[in-house]
Structure 1
Amino acid sequence: MSIIHIDGGTPLIGNVKLSGAKNSILKLIPAAMFSNEDIVIDNVPQVTGVLEYVTLIKSMGARAEWISSNRLILNGSSINTYEIPYAFGREYRVAALLAVPIVYRFGKAIIPQPHTPKGSLSISRWMEAWKSLGLNVEVDDKYIKVESGNIAAANISFKVSTHTGTDNAIISSLFAPGETTINNAAEEPEVDDLIEFVNMIGGDVKRIEPRKIRVNGRNVFKGGKFTVQSDKNEAVYFAVQAVLTKGNITIQKVDKTHLTSFINVITKMKCKYEVSKDELRVWSGGEQLEPVTVTTSPAPGFVTDWQPLMVLLSTQAVGEGLVHDTVYTDRFDHIKDLNRMGAKIELFKPSEVGMRAVISDESYDIERFGEPTTVAKITGPSRLKGTKMHLSDPVSATTLISAACSAEGRSEISGIETLEILNENILDKTADLGAKITLIE
């Protein structure tokens, strides 16, 4: 297990190019399996999840070849099995996006029930979509079997917005005869990347309203070339780094429309920034930051993946700030490390701070478990000091790296492999901006 030392307090200055979005490519790979022709995808991030997905489809017979560091060729014509390997399918829910492309080829697919050390990963909304489309679904403790049945277009409606559920509904209805309508569809930009991609390979998908998507079934798919959109989460990481380290960072290959809710928040906090066509420059001269109240929500709202970085940024505002996560109930592990560094952060139930309890995770039974503690109250500003930390959560890993870069003194951080699950070369990019990062082992 790798360990690094970060000596904080150095302003990060310079230009940085964003990598491709992991949350985009992980849905493009299974969608590509419909095609019998070569598909070339550029700007593919080489992060753990993507590398393992590529290994997975190769093990199933598909062509998946890196022709440069961020360019990938895919072709599903040689897939030779309808069973998704257990180990990968159990760990990664996105493996289930392969189900219908496999059904397209073999008439059936067997996928493992997704599960992680934190518990099961529900795909109940995915299975509801499959059943709506006429697919036969059988479930046991370990596997889900999906068969073509009488597949046909349908109206699919989600009670709450679901990003991966929308991905699955689009992919699953691509070859269903007729016109499928997906209601309350997710608005994440990565979903629109998927729509653009499947149209390129021969699909007929259109977002006809912000939360309504129409899919006309097709039966023949082709090859082509596609470029993955930039990673909006990486953009937020470097923007926060610029403010916390009193630096000056120009973030390149930015789509500002993907960052509207974040930019609105840092505007209220009085952060310094400027936006051009495809760049975001953020800097700080030590100006006083204003505290804010932020509530995460599905796009176009403030993305839940940004919650840990928002909590960290709020530690440097003067006064009390609130960050309410309405998407997940268990994404606050970073708070204990930030508090050990000197932050003043407390967790509350929403009703305890005058908010309404909202949770879009349908797997959480509020009647059974009660109102969750999903509001962080941050009192600032705090002088953060370096400490020992272990990275265990891929989503909050960049937050602890950012905290260490801005803290006084040295931090020793283990579990660096966790950082590589979602982030491509993030330590190298951070060091290139001036961060003092040393690999120990």
Structure 2
Amino acid sequence: MDRIAITGGARLNGTIPVSGAKNSAIKLMAASLLTDEPLRLTNMPRLADTRFLGKLLSRLGVSVTESDGVDGQETVLHAPEITSGFAPYDLVRQMRASFNVLGPLVARSGQAKVSLPGGCTIGARPVDLHLQALEALGAKIDLHEGYVYAQAPRGLRGAEITFPFVSVGATEHAMLAAVLADGTTVIHNAACEPELVDLQECLNAMGAKVQGAGTPTVTITGVARLKGASHAVIPDRIEMGTYAVAAAMAGGEVRLTNARPGLIDSLLVKLEEAGAGVEHTADGCIIRRNGDRLNAVDIETQPFPGFATDLQAQFMALMTTANGESRIRETIFENRFMHAPELMRLGADISVSGGEARVRGVAQLEGAEVMATDLRASVSLVIAGLVARGETTVSRIYHLDRGFERLEEKLGACGAQVRRIASDGEQEL
């Protein structure tokens, strides 16, 4: 397996363009199942997760064409007909979000057989709410041998759906299914993340009638069919936040472009509180640190617009060398502190109790061999390696490749000494 090696001590100075949002792109790709006309997605990231989903969609009858167009990286997805309603375990297990093909398949063709996605290293992420939403829309659901069999031969129908707790995935899945349902669907206690607004805009460009995304109540008036459309994927707020933390960690000045800083206000406020400089620009923001040691600050993860759980690991890495003690509370996922022991291998002083971690800043981290445990944890180790004395080597970076596009190239362009070591032992610059 490939590894990433980082030689610490280099300040970051330069520009980093933010890619399209992974968490939005994969749900927009699933929307291609809802129409027999082409869906063109621009500002598309090229990631392991989008490749995984592309393979699954191809099996279902979607042609997936990637190219570099006038609007940058784009993907055209076209499903003139659904050739298969079967999504096998060997494909679904590679990425949980691929389970969201279930709703569009049932909405368009009346039936589907989709594997349950399996476990998750960062805690239980059940699909109960997804299935409850589909049942409310009139689908008959049966579970056998790890597969979901869903049928709605007469089509789905509008319904009132009330989630007992906020779920981004379930909200997105309900939206994808309800756009072709007969009648009106109202989703209560919906997630409010910006990716849901992006999904709404894409679906409406395809002829759907969705309103309220980004608020706790989403209303969908079903239509008979959807058409093709062209849609630009929203910038990735998690990638933006990650590079903002990296700049604050290493020091220097980094300009983030093709970005929407308003989507990570909760992080930027904490960076300023810690002592980093934040300047908003027309197409992003600038992060500065003059070399002074940062101050420890506390964070607590919350649903949007609160502090994103997907930025928690990165911020913990930042606090490992801050002056004082910070408390980091994780309220979204259990078991999402698996990066803490790896950071401790670099010399970090961290203690974890339940959903809270205490990070006591140290003067210097030391390079070591560490292992990525999940997507966001992997990049937190890279961030720590930027300031660790000597060389830090991160293994199992297939996690990293799921969500960060050209990371070595983007950091390297700003002066970081980071390189990929190919599995055959040859270094890739």
Q: Specify the alignment match of 1:340 in structure 2.
A: 345
| 1:228-250 superposed Cα distances (whole Å, 9 cap, x missing partner) | 01111111111111111112100
2:109 counterpart of 1:106: yes
Contact 2:378 2:394 in 1 (8 A): no
Matches of residues 22-421 of structure 1 in structure 2 within 5 Å? 22-68=22-68, 70-116=73-119, 118=121, 121-148=125-152, 151-207=156-212, 210-348=215-353, 373-421=354-402
Aligned residues: 417
Equivalent position SS for 2:385 = helix
Q: Specify the alignment match of 1:14 in structure 2.
A: 14
> Aligned partner of 1:138: which letter?
D
> Aligned partner of 1:410: which letter?
E
> Aligned partner of 1:16: which letter?
I
Residues 259/208 of structure 1: CA separation in 2 closer, same or farther (3 Å cut): closer
Whole-angstrom CA distance in 2 between matches of 1:90 and 1:234: 24
**Displacement of 1:375:** 0.4
**Displacement of 1:20:** 0.7
Residues 166/208 of structure 1: CA separation in 2 closer, same or farther (3 Å cut): closer
Contact 1:36 1:77 in 2 (8 A): yes
Equivalent position SS for 1:261 = helix
Give the fraction of aligned pairs with identical amino acids, expressed as a percent.
Answer: 27
Give unpaired runs (5+ residues) of structure 1. Answer: 349-372
**Displacement of 1:208:** 7.1
Contact 1:344 1:382 in 2 (8 A): no
Whole-angstrom CA distance in 2 between matches of 1:315 and 1:411: 15
Whole-angstrom CA distance in 2 between matches of 1:116 and 1:43: 31
Whole-angstrom CA distance in 2 between matches of 1:439 and 1:113: 34
Whole-angstrom CA distance in 1 between matches of 2:32 and 2:3: 37
Residues 316/93 of structure 1: CA separation in 2 closer, same or farther (3 Å cut): same
Whole-angstrom CA distance in 2 between matches of 1:86 and 1:295: 35
Whole-angstrom CA distance in 2 between matches of 1:12 and 1:294: 25
Q: Specify the alignment match of 1:364 in structure 2.
A: none
State the TM-score, normalizing by the size of structure 2: 0.93
- Using the TM superposition, name which of 60-69 and 253-262 deviates more: 60-69
Equivalent position SS for 1:202 = coil
Whole-angstrom CA distance in 2 between matches of 1:209 and 1:303: 15
- Using the TM superposition, name which of 207-216 and 392-401 deviates more: 207-216
Whole-angstrom CA distance in 2 between matches of 1:73 and 1:346: 47
Whole-angstrom CA distance in 2 between matches of 1:194 and 1:377: 37
State the TM-score, normalizing by the size of structure 1: 0.91
Residues 121/210 of structure 1: CA separation in 2 closer, same or farther (3 Å cut): closer
Contact 1:103 1:146 in 2 (8 A): yes
2:426 counterpart of 1:439: no
Whole-angstrom CA distance in 2 between matches of 1:181 and 1:439: 47
**Displacement of 1:120:** 6.7
Whole-angstrom CA distance in 1 between matches of 2:377 and 2:41: 28
Whole-angstrom CA distance in 2 between matches of 1:173 and 1:438: 45
Task: Say what the alpha-carbon RMSD is for the aligned residues.
Answer: 1.7
| 1:325-351 superposed Cα distances (whole Å, 9 cap, x missing partner) | 000111111111211211111112xxx
**Displacement of 1:86:** 2.5
Equivalent position SS for 2:199 = helix
Q: Specify the alignment match of 1:427 in structure 2.
A: 408
Equivalent position SS for 1:262 = helix
Equivalent position SS for 2:180 = coil
